Structure 1
Amino acid sequence: MLSALATDRARVADLEAQIVELERSLAALVLEKTIAQERLNAYTYPVLTLPDEIISEIFIHFIPIYPACPPITGLLSPTLLTHICRKWRTIARTTPALWRAISLSSDGTPFQNPAYISDILSRSGCLPLSIELNYHDSEDDDSESKVLQAAFLHCKRWEYVELCSWGFDLPIIERDLPLLRHISLDFDDGESQIPYIIINDAPLLRKAVLGAVNLSKLMLPWEQLTSLTVDQINADAWIPVLQQTSNLVHCELSLYDTGIDNNNPPPEVILPCLQSLTYDNLDVGFDNLDPGDDDGYDGFLNVVFAPALRSLRIAEIFLRPNPIGSLASFIAKSGCNLEELAVAGKRWVPASSYRKAFPSIGKFSFDGGADEDYATVEGDSDSRVHLS
């Protein structure tokens, strides 16, 4: 018995000695860990040493160049920059240039929270805005209306605006937009009620892009425009507008039909500053016309008087029945020095005939095929070309 007790006492003493040694080793490890952690805590990542102004500039280069609009959320949005760390979130939220261009679509979740949209727009401070509002048929018309109201609270700062509506009835829009430079409008007349849009005061407005818009319901300072693009329109609608756009330099028209009665032509449209003009045809039925049909469409071109014109793109259907004669008449009447001619769509006259008839034009382009049964191919005799 005494022998067993002596053995246990010796074992306890031995274990105590081992514990003391292990405690010393543990203390050394804890000290080493503390020193290493202090070194880590003292280290600052290089990007975090940059001044806030430099980080803001880097953030601005992350998004598309203004006035292009990034999405409001997602991988390419400025919102992504607020998810990295607390410091970057503060910098991003207080960088107005990150929030001056915004794309809003009723397909996106932000439309469920108009207060969020209001907060986003407020972050841009007093900077001019580029804004895209794309409305689609939705079950939540109330939220969409509230988003539109939130956007209009900042309309005095709108500089570039795109407003599209499909299946959503917009209210009458009547605003003064003192910073507006560019406006783009597109509506689906078949599914929604196109609103009246009246912009009385927009002294900086120079460019308008209009698609499926009822021009009788649109009031713009037309005389200020230098660039106008109109899509999906009939001729009887654009002539009254062009008569008010005396300062146009560039004009593109995509038309369903000519709508012009050559026996009772409309008043001449005088565009003294116009340098480039495009007449594109949206009616595919024109492609099936009989090349021998002598119905005239050339009155469409001769409505315009453009002495400064340098570039013309036109669907050949609008030059019938005598394409080359119509062009020659237009050039002579306008007194313009045409430098570039593009003939679009199906052609009844070969390219060689255009080049031969207008040797002073330096650049030609043809993006439609000629009717081989009616017109010769380029380089062959032009004996079969109908020019009467």
Structure 2
Amino acid sequence: MSSSFHILRERKDVINAELEHLALKTHALEIELDEIVTALSATMFDVASLPPDVLGEIFTFYLDSGPIVQKPRYPYNSGPTLSNPLILASVCSPWRNTALSLPALWTSLEIHTHKANENMQSLLNTSLPRAKTLPLNLDIRSLDATGDVLSKLIPYSNQWGALSCRVIRGTKSAGNIARGKVPKLRKIDVVLYNSMDLTCTNENPPKIIAFADAPLLREVNLSGIPPARINLPWMQLTKLQLSKLDDKNIVHMLRLASNLRHLDLTLHQNTVTTAPTGKLPLCLPCVQTLTLRTSTHSAFDFLRYLTTPSLTTVEFIDNAPEAIILASFFSRSECSVTDVVFAGEISAETAATTLAVLVHTVRLEIKDVVDWTTPHLKFMLRIIAIDTKAAGWVGGCETEFCVLPELESLIINPLLHGPDGSIAVAVAELLEKSRKAGRPLKELEVMVRPRSCAGVVQRREMNKALEVLKREGLGDGIRLRNECSLQQTTSAVSTLQAIPSR
């Protein structure tokens, strides 16, 4: 008996020694890796030697916006400034020649100035002609200067491709003289200030007519602009986003824009007693994508005014309708929703309840949710892969949710709060269970916290999970940088890459 214990103790000592050796080796490798990463980061390449065409492609790809006229600082800038393309042009002579010769770098313009002075006019005259004949994307951020700035931009109206501006209630639109002179305009974004009071009306509001004759106009975003305030080629619109409007005005606009493909509604609790008139529910035969934004459940009563027989994609931001309202809407529309998106402040419990109605979901995306913890995300993964009883909902909800038997694509990019957890473990479980159930995922992408943030135990769990993901045939691979991205596709060769977080 004593000899058996002696053998076990010796074996224990051997194992401990091996673990210590491995720990030392791991530590040494981590130090070496740090040195390699530092050396690679310090390597400088002679970008000046790049051919102009290659340099131009890099500039065009990475430059996210065009010139900025007087980017605001608190309290205000002392004078107008221009950035982005001109910053590139100030680096060296080759960069200057390349930046000045690329019209695509000069097509986007953000204007923050509070006064259309001579300096601003000079900057406009410097930047806009460099766009040549390309469509211009104009964003006027200053409410006070909208009228003055628009008047300065009128000579370029035949190049307007997209226009975003703010207007004040009761003021005449300075851009109306551009009517019939916007042949390239494809998108507008107009915000009416002082429009929070939905009951406030103006018997003779100044009308915006600048966009009434725009042959290419397809996308419109209106905030607080009632139909009586603007003339648009409604029938040719394919994408419409509305906010700060009551139910009656929304329905009125939707009657006019009957060929919409994409509809984005920010719903508010209706304080106006006048209900929509005419034949209801209103059928929108072409709408394929519907985005709903609201913070109050009662605002979803608006759905009773609509039917959308071609609807395939729904996006819920911040909240979602009660299951009975949603089920009634889908049943009345006789549509088949296959793509679902959750975002914003929507809770995990609300999302799960909504999925119980959307059991035919093929593609599910959860993005930028702000109040979810790691257990919430694990719960969502498990009700998809297993069943609701085994998911162990931590919120105490007793409702039995349905799994998604037809799910093929899952994309999760949340903003997690709370202690870091091994999401990869739940993802591995999802893959295993889905495959065993005969419904393997075709696409998978999950973003989690940096691997270096996890503890020793969590890192071991993640390593095991990564092996499961590899064994289950993960496509594209696994990349671990600032975040962990798990991607699975059927077309890619099965590979596994683990790049340490740096």
Q: Quickly name the TM-score band, shorter chain normalised.
A: 0.5 to 0.7
1:71 aligns with 2:68: yes
Separation (CA, whole Å) in 2 of partners of 1:198 and 1:186 = 15
Separation (CA, whole Å) in 1 of partners of 2:276 and 2:103 = 59
Separation (CA, whole Å) in 2 of partners of 1:340 and 1:61 = 29
Specify the code of the residue in structure 1 equivalent to 2:60. Answer: I
- Residue equivalent to 1:200: 212
Residue 91 to residue 350, structure 1, CA distance change in 2 (3 Å): closer
- Residue equivalent to 2:121: 114
Counterpart mapping for 1:129-168 below 5 A: 129-137=136-144, 145-165=147-167
TM normalised by structure 2 equals: 0.50
1:238 aligns with 2:280: no
Number of matched pairs: 307
Structure 1 contact 102–130 (Cα < 8 Å) conserved:
yes
- Residue equivalent to 2:106: 99
Structure of greater relative contact order (alpha carbons < 8 Å, 6+ residues apart):
1
| DSSP 3-state at the match of 2:241 | strand
Structure 1 contact 162–184 (Cα < 8 Å) conserved:
yes
1:182: Cα distance to partner?
Answer: 1.6
Structure 2 contact 82–123 (Cα < 8 Å) conserved:
no
- Residue equivalent to 1:271: 284
Specify the code of the residue in structure 2 equivalent to 1:276. Answer: T
Q: Structure 1 stretch 240-249 or stretch 73-82: which is displaced more?
A: 73-82
Residue 206 to residue 297, structure 1, CA distance change in 2 (3 Å): closer
Structure 1 contact 279–313 (Cα < 8 Å) conserved:
yes
Larger Rg: 1
- Residue equivalent to 1:181: 186
Unmatched segments (≥5 aa) in structure 1 = 1-45, 288-295, 370-375, 383-388
Separation (CA, whole Å) in 2 of partners of 1:190 and 1:353 = 34
Match of 1:81 among 60, 83, 88: 88
Counterpart mapping for 1:119-130 below 5 A: 119-130=126-137
Specify the code of the residue in structure 2 equivalent to 1:329. Answer: S
- Residue equivalent to 1:339: 338
1:245: Cα distance to partner?
Answer: 1.9
Separation (CA, whole Å) in 2 of partners of 1:161 and 1:179 = 11
1:336: Cα distance to partner?
Answer: 0.8
Structure 2 contact 247–275 (Cα < 8 Å) conserved:
no
1:171 aligns with 2:171: no
TM normalised by structure 1 equals: 0.63
Cα RMSD, aligned residues only: 4.3
- Residue equivalent to 2:60: 60
Residue 273 to residue 367, structure 1, CA distance change in 2 (3 Å): farther
| DSSP 3-state at the match of 1:233 | coil
Residue 100 to residue 236, structure 1, CA distance change in 2 (3 Å): same
1:156: Cα distance to partner?
Answer: 0.9
Separation (CA, whole Å) in 1 of partners of 2:351 and 2:89 = 58
Match of 1:379 among 394, 398, 411: 398
Identity %, equivalent residues:
23
Specify the code of the residue in structure 2 equivalent to 1:337. Answer: S
Residue 265 to residue 95, structure 1, CA distance change in 2 (3 Å): closer
Structure 1 contact 232–256 (Cα < 8 Å) conserved:
yes
| DSSP 3-state at the match of 2:68 | coil
Separation (CA, whole Å) in 2 of partners of 1:318 and 1:54 = 47
- Residue equivalent to 2:234: 222
Separation (CA, whole Å) in 1 of partners of 2:150 and 2:299 = 43
Structure 1 contact 324–357 (Cα < 8 Å) conserved:
yes
Unmatched segments (≥5 aa) in structure 2 = 1-45, 71-80, 197-204, 373-394, 402-502
